[in-house]
Amino acid sequence: MKIAVLQAEATVLDLEANLRVVDAAARRARQDGADLLLTPELFTCGYSPELVRQRLTAEDLRLIADRAAAIARRHGIALVYSAPRQGAGGRWHIAATLLDDAGRAVLSYDKVHLFGDEERRAFAPAEDAPRVVEHGGLRISLLICYDVEFPESVRAASDQGAELLLVPTALGAGFAAVPNILLPARALESQVVIAYANHCGTESGLEFGGESVVAGADGSLLARAGTGPDLVHAVVDSALVAAARERVPYLRDRRPDLYGRWGGRPTG
């Protein structure tokens, strides 16, 4: 499967403008032979958690979902988009959805690890583990931004058989170690391909770092963006994931029977 990763600057609360950017990226990605387009966290509405939570309506959320599905259908490309989601009891979550090339939702995920006070004031943390779906000859899972910085999240997806982990993100400038060091390490230790799509530019006063990446299951970088707008591509092959797992059998050689006994909190 050939995937495309969008890196761009969103306009906060201008849904139409942001969806036009996604539409143009989907058209270009499909022309370049990509089967799937990954977009950044909350890109459809722009990243400004409290403002988005205050201003967006249920009708806005339906519009985003309908337009995203139309984009996938129009260009015949699978699409991962991120937007708020209203859950049980009126709680709002940061969500990501994988659409197939007919615009049908095949996988969804709500963010578990919220980052910073503003996200925690605006949204509720989810609790459900990442799920895995078969799509395009690969087993695919979703996480969102800060989630991928926790080894438990990535390992939970890997334990369910994920070969490709798609991660919309909104990583601020000054955290270059995440895409350059942490992401390749996460991919290597859990032996999954991780695609990570970030914003660039400035939204509501927050400067984003860009540097979207695709990290291979062997820890190598398959694609990397700079700090400005970009659309990068990588080919993900399940045979290469299997080869990485065979070469260094981290997953096979784990000893979870021991780790449970090691998990107590220190007393000293």
User: Is 80 exceeded by the pLDDT of residue 265?
Assistant: no
Give mean pLDDT, residues 22-37. 98
Identify the pLDDT of residue 79.
Answer: 99
Dihedral over alpha carbons 72, 77, 83, 87 (to 10 degrees): 80
- Checking if the pLDDT of 229 tops 80, the result is yes
145 carries an active-site annotation: yes
Q: Residue range 69-87: average pLDDT?
A: 97
pLDDT of residue 268: 44
* pLDDT of the residue at 264: 64
Asked if residue 186 lies in contact with residue 148, where contact means CB atoms within 8 angstroms, the answer is yes
pLDDT score of 266? 54
**Domains and their CATH numbers in the chain:** 2-262 (3.60.110.10)
Closest listed residue to residue 7, CA positions, set 218, 147, 200:
200
Judge whether 119 counts as a catalytic residue: no
Over residues 157-187, the pLDDT tens digits come to 999 999 999 999 999 999 999 999 999 999 9
Residue 87: pLDDT band by 50, 70, 90 thresholds?
confident
Whether 2 is a known active-site residue: answer: no
- Give a three-class secondary structure readout of the chain: CEEEEEEECCCCCCHHHHHHHHHHHHHHHHHCCCCEEECCCCCCCCCCHHHHHHHCCHHHHHHHHHHHHHHHHHHCCEEEEEEEEECHHHCEEEEEEEECCCCCEEEEEECCCCCHHHHHHHCCCCCCCCCEEEECCEEEEECCHHHHHCHHHHHHHHHCCCCEEEEECCCECCCCHHHHHHHHHHHHHHCCEEEEECECCEECCEEECCCCEEECCCCCEEEECCCCCEEEEEECCHHHHHHHHHHCCHHHHCCHHHHHHHCCCCCC
Angle at 209 between CA 203 and CA 212, to 5 degrees: 110
Query: Over the stretch 193-224, which tens digit does the pLDDT of each residue have?
Result: 999 999 999 999 999 999 999 999 999 999 99
Catalytic one of 41, 163, 203, 211: 41
- State the catalytic residue, choosing from 9, 45, 119, 145: 145
Query: 111, 163, 200, 203: which one is catalytic?
Result: 111
Distance of alpha carbon 97 from alpha carbon 11, whole angstroms: 20
Q: Are 78 and 135 in contact (CB under 8 A)?
A: yes
Q: Mean pLDDT score of the chain, rounded to an integer? A: 96
Distance CA 56, CA 266 (A): 44
Token code pair at residue 203: 């939204």
Mean pLDDT of 59-79: 98
How do residues 105-160 score in pLDDT, each as one tens digit? Answer: 999 999 999 999 999 999 999 999 999 999 999 999 999 999 999 999 999 999 99
Q: Please determine, for residue 259, whether its predicted confidence score (pLDDT) is greater than 90.
A: no
Q: How many angstroms separate the CA atoms of 44 and 68, rounded?
A: 9
Percentage of residues of the chain with pLDDT beyond 90:
94
In percent, the amount of the chain with pLDDT more than 70 equals: 98
